């Protein structure tokens, strides 16, 4: 049986929120890290995209610039991120992750990765290969028109 694009879209709409709920729940259970999923995604994006602008981060996370700015302000206050003027346009800022931010990002990634790995250990090797191939396909479809993301 060949799935239609509509059937594939329906599956994505149903499964992705379930996966994100699991990830959110796992991140919350790591209470000492105190990092929300949007904060994690922001730190991960800025870590991969050095000197990102607020607009780029907002677009990646799916927030308005004012909402992303509030999120950035919280990360700045906690010393997880820095903000500096862009050398060519002082109206723009460049964001960077601090050493402390990177450490928290890595710890959160490790914990969540361990959880997901354990969760997927009950799946056969062939099924895990299908998951990897599906994620590669989704990445290519959804990054063709966007920046690199988390």
Residue 82 falls inside a structural domain? yes
Residue 148 falls inside a structural domain? no
Residue 150 falls inside a structural domain? no
Tell me: pLDDT of 62 over 60.
Answer: yes
Residue 56 falls inside a structural domain? yes
pLDDT at 148: 46
Residue 118 falls inside a structural domain? yes
Number of domains comprising the chain? 1
Residue 23 falls inside a structural domain? yes
Report the C-alpha dihedral over residues 60, 110, 31, 99, rounded to 10 degrees.
Answer: -70
Per-residue tokens: 114 = 């361990």
pLDDT at 31: 59
Domain span including residue 124: 5-143
- CATH number of the structural domain spanning residue 55: 1.10.10.10
Mean pLDDT of 42-56: 91
**Please, where are the H alpha helices in 3-64?**
5-29, 37-48, 54-61
Distance CA 64, CA 78 (A): 22
Residue 149 falls inside a structural domain? no
Q: Which residues contact 149 (CB under 8 A, 6 or more apart)?
A: 41, 45, 48, 60, 143
Q: What Cα–Cα distance (Å) separates residue 93 from each residue in 14, 56, 63, 65, 69? A: 37, 11, 17, 12, 11
User: Are 120 and 16 within 8 A, CB to CB?
Assistant: no
pLDDT at 143: 83
Chain segment 69-122, per-residue pLDDT in tens: 999 999 999 999 998 876 777 677 889 999 999 998 888 888 889 999 999 999
Residue 87 falls inside a structural domain? yes
């Amino acid at each position: 049986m060949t799935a239609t694009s509509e059937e594939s879209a329906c599956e994505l709409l149903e499964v992705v929120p379930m996966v994100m709920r699991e990830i959110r729940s796992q991140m919350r259970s790591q209470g000492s890290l105190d990092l929300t999923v949007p904060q994690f995604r922001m730190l991960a994006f800025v870590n991969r995209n050095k000197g990102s602008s607020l607009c780029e981060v907002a677009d990646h996370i799916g927030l308005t610039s004012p909402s992303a700015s509030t999120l950035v302000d919280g990360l700045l206050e906690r010393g997880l991120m820095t903000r500096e003027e862009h050398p060519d346009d002082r109206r723009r800022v460049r964001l960077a992750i601090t050493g402390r931010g990177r450490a928290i990002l890595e710890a959160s990634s490790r914990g969540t990765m361990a959880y997901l790995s354990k969760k997927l250990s009950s799946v056969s090797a062939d099924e895990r290969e299908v998951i990897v191939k599906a994620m590669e396909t989704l990445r290519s479809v959804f990054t063709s028109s966007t920046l690199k993301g988390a």
